[in-house]
Chain A
Amino acid sequence: MYDSSDLRKGLKIVIDGTPYIVTDFQFSKPGKGQALYRCKLKNMMTGYTMDRTYRSGEKFEPANLDEVQMQFLYKDGDGFHFMDTQKYEQVALTEEQVGEAKNFLKENMEVTVLFFDSTPIDITLPIFVELQVTKSDPGVRGDTATGATKPATLETGYVIQVPLFIEEGDVLKIDTRTGEYVERVKR
């Protein structure tokens, strides 16, 4: 169990059966009064944040979270399916849980799946992924000013801005933190 004095940014605790991460923390002591711990907490299931103030001596259950390396298999009506390549166990996450990551998920991609009490709740992509361009119109001639870009559709269906020299079939390196083009890997 954690105590109020253990509260700090990044700590993961359970409140009413839900895992929360402390995203902001302020130790406060009004006048000669009792110590108070003001927290901003993010619900790790929904992403919503809330403010809570705790007194000293309050107890918190640590969130039992596990990270497992898994492979993305496929997407269907039930959601996104992943497999633990060591134990051959499969799990499914909803589109909401996968969130923005769905734009960069490709079959067989290795990702980190976050489990809370054995239930998958979130995934983390590799920082860089390689994806093929399935559609991109040729750049308009004459439009060669530095930094000029055009849209390109990736094999996941996601559209990003790329330099004008990129062609259909090229494989691009994408930064999943920003969702931006980094470089061309191969033609």
Chain B
Amino acid sequence: MQRLRQRALILQAVRNFFISREFLEVQTPVLVSTLAPEPYIEAIEVPLGKGDSLYLITSPELNLKRLLAKGFEHIFQITPAFRKNECGTKHLTEFTLLEWYSVYKDYVWLMECCEELLRHAAKVVGNWPVIEYGGMKMRLDRPFYRISVQEAFIQWAGWDPVANYDADRFDLDMVEKVEPHLLMNRPVFLYDYPAQCAALARRSSKDIRVAERVELYAGGLELANGFSELTDVKEQIQRFQEDMERMSAMGRRPYPWPAAFLNSLELLPDCAGMAMGVDRLVMLLTDARVIDEVVAFPFKGV
């Protein structure tokens, strides 16, 4: 009960944060004809009969970028999103996602934006400037810790994923060797991912082997993921093709080709966008160890 009240306050704080910065709150469809191919994120298919089907969004990303291409400059959406086979203490099949996008910005701006957003939300629920999560105190009034994926892996996993990317080992070592070190006395940004694991992110101008992708962690929770967005149509088409091939190789049926999105990409200005798990933000700020505690009626999947 108490956590649901706090959740309402946090949602209101998020809205106020963006509206006061002249972002437009938008709504885009939850039921869509196609999605960005993601080898490890599976959408729920909604059959319409006669062999046709739609999908429940795993993220509103493609829709929001289409709005940017139409000329909107600063937008955000708070939406339910669905990911098949994801349930656990930090995962729900149906969860709430906050995404925001802004034109002529990059991932450095996203990091600053996350810092300000977390501070603002923590003040609203009365946990300022120190929040406690799972017995761990974190200061929010100082800059969050920043470490590149390359540094983190060399330091804690003993190898360099940028020089020699190994997809299988990367995920395993991320969970077993890197993430345990991200439990720090302040939130942490992990940034500059190997280009192979950033489907919709722009390559760094400093090192083309990495993509300008950033993840925010706090108290062991992976809170948000963002990119300096890829706007190169040719490269986007190539990455989608590669990911669709990977999906087929894994025995999954690829989604229909995202033509409408790719057409709009021609008009997409440079921009940056971030996706934050609202349920996890509420977990962090209300010291909930299990995601079920911050939603009204958790659906754990079948």
Residues of chain A whose beta carbon lies under 8 Å from any beta carbon of chain B: 5, 26-36, 38, 53, 55-56
17 contacts between A and B (CB under 8 A): A26-B88, A26-B89, A27-B87, A28-B90, A30-B222, A31-B222, A32-B38, A32-B197, A32-B199, A33-B170, A33-B174, A35-B85, A36-B172, A38-B176, A53-B175, A53-B176, A55-B168
Interface readout for B90-109 with A: 1 if CB under 8 Å, 0 if not? 11000000000000000000
Q: B23-41: which have CB < 8 Å to A?
A: 38-41
Which chain B residues lie closer than 8 Å to A33 at the CB level?
40, 170-171, 174, 197
The answer to whether A29 and B89 have CB atoms under 8 Å apart is no
B208 → A minimal CB distance (Å): 20
Find chain A residues with CB under 8 A from B171 CB. Answer: 30, 33-34, 36
- How far apart are the CA atoms of A29 and B197 in the complex, in Å? 13
**Given A27-B86, A27-B91, A30-B222; A35-B40 close (CB under 8 Å):** yes
Asked if B179 is at the interface of the complex by the 8 Å CB criterion, the answer is yes
Min CB distance, B37 to chain A, in Å?
A: 11
Cβ-defined contact, B179 with A30, below 8 A = yes
A26, A32, A33, A36 — most chain B CB neighbours (10 Å): A32
Q: Is the CB of B199 within 8 A of A31?
A: no
CA–CA, A26 to B90, complex, Å? 9
B229 within 8 A of A: no
Q: For residue B251, which residue of chain A has the nearest CB?
A: A57
Query: CB < 8 Å: which of B39, B89, B176 contacts A27?
Result: B89
Q: Contacts A5-B85, A27-B86; is A32 near B91 (CB within 8 Å)?
A: no
A33 to B172 alpha-carbon distance, docked (Å): 9
B interface, CB within 8 angstroms of A: 38-41, 85-91, 168, 170-172, 174-176, 179, 193, 197-199, 215, 222, 225
Residues of B with C-beta under 8 A to A34 = 39-40, 168, 171
Contacts of B38 in A (CB 8 A): 32
B179 closest partner in A (C-beta): A30
Contact at A28–B88, with CB atoms within 8 Å? yes
> Residues of B contacting A36 with CB < 8 Å?
171-172, 175
Which of A26, A30, A38, A55 makes the CB contact (< 8 A) with B174?
A30
Closest residue of B by beta carbon distance from A56: B85
Contacting pair B215 A31 (CB below 8 A):
yes
Q: Which of B171, B193, B199 is most buried by chain A, counting CB atoms within 10 A of its CB?
A: B171
Q: From residue B100, how far is it (CB to closest CB) to chain A in Å?
A: 18
A29 with B172, Cβ < 8 A, contacts A5-B85, A35-B85, A35-B86 known: no
**Which 4 A-B pairs have CB atoms at the shortest separation, nearest pair first?**
A27-B88, A33-B171, A30-B174, A34-B40
A5 to B222: give the CA distance in the assembly, Å. Answer: 21
Nearest-CB residue, chain A, relative to B41? A32
A28, B217: Cα distance in complex, Å:
14
Give min CB distance, B230 to chain A, whole Å.
14
CB B227 to nearest CB in A, in angstroms, measures 11
> Is A28 touching B175 in the complex (CB atoms < 8 A)?
yes
Contacts of A29 in B (CB 8 A): 40, 86, 91
**A28 to B, closest residue via Cβ:** B175
Quick one: closest A residue to B178, CB to CB?
A30
